[in-house]
Structure 1
């Protein structure tokens, strides 16, 4: 007997992974997606399945594609095209790319220092 992962299980795992990737707790995501936090909890435990509208709201709130949430893409990096920041960086050229890269590194370093205490 094979333990095949169902689409609902994939969605639950991907939603949790994307939420944590963005640094949100369930309440944060719920507020951004304009839905109750209990709904997020139900989606993550697999006790409820999202409607198309809920799926769309979650993808927008997480700035990630529905393909990642639904398991059509295996890596959140491959779903970056849904992230407006990623799309904007892709349109930069030359010196602007270097400035953006330096600025993003500075922000990441600042956040890393905050996380350490």
Structure 2
């Protein structure tokens, strides 16, 4: 189920990034981190802060538990909601467009609620 391997984070980070078809630069841009940070994390030279770990999980659509080796299923974050399952198949280059569409839909729904009596 889980692994006690000390360097599992760097292996899981690389595996999740490659599973999404993202380069280190694309992951860095999506997670709003410097590209050098991704390289350091994947080489094991540095460990991410909690905030950076959270950003990586969100950018890769995986749980932080997966990245830390506590669970073995990378897409647990998308298991419940079909929207997340589809997002997992979107390339790194298309993610900003998808995020913008979701933001616009959320704003539209929020405005509709304001207009309701």
- What TM bracket, shorter-length normalisation? 0.5 to 0.7
Partner of 2:82: 89
Give the TM-score normalised by the residue count of structure 2.
Answer: 0.64
The Cα shift of 1:74 comes to: 1.9
Deviation sequence 1:35-81 (CA, Å, 0-9, x none): 111000000000001000000000000011001100001232xxx23
Aligned pairs, number: 83
Partner of 2:67: 69
The Cα shift of 1:13 comes to: 0.2
For residue 23 of structure 1, give the secondary structure of its aligned residue in structure 2: coil
Consecutive unaligned residues of structure 1, counting only runs of 5 or more, are 91-99, 108-117
Give the TM-score normalised by the residue count of structure 1.
Answer: 0.64
The Cα shift of 1:29 comes to: 0.1
Consecutive unaligned residues of structure 2, counting only runs of 5 or more, are 91-117
Partner of 1:5: 5
The Cα shift of 1:87 comes to: 3.0
Partner of 2:48: 50
The Cα shift of 1:82 comes to: 0.9
Bigger share in helix: 1
- After superposing on structure 2, the runs of 4+ consecutive aligned residues of structure 1 that deviate more than 4 Å are none
The Cα shift of 1:5 comes to: 2.6
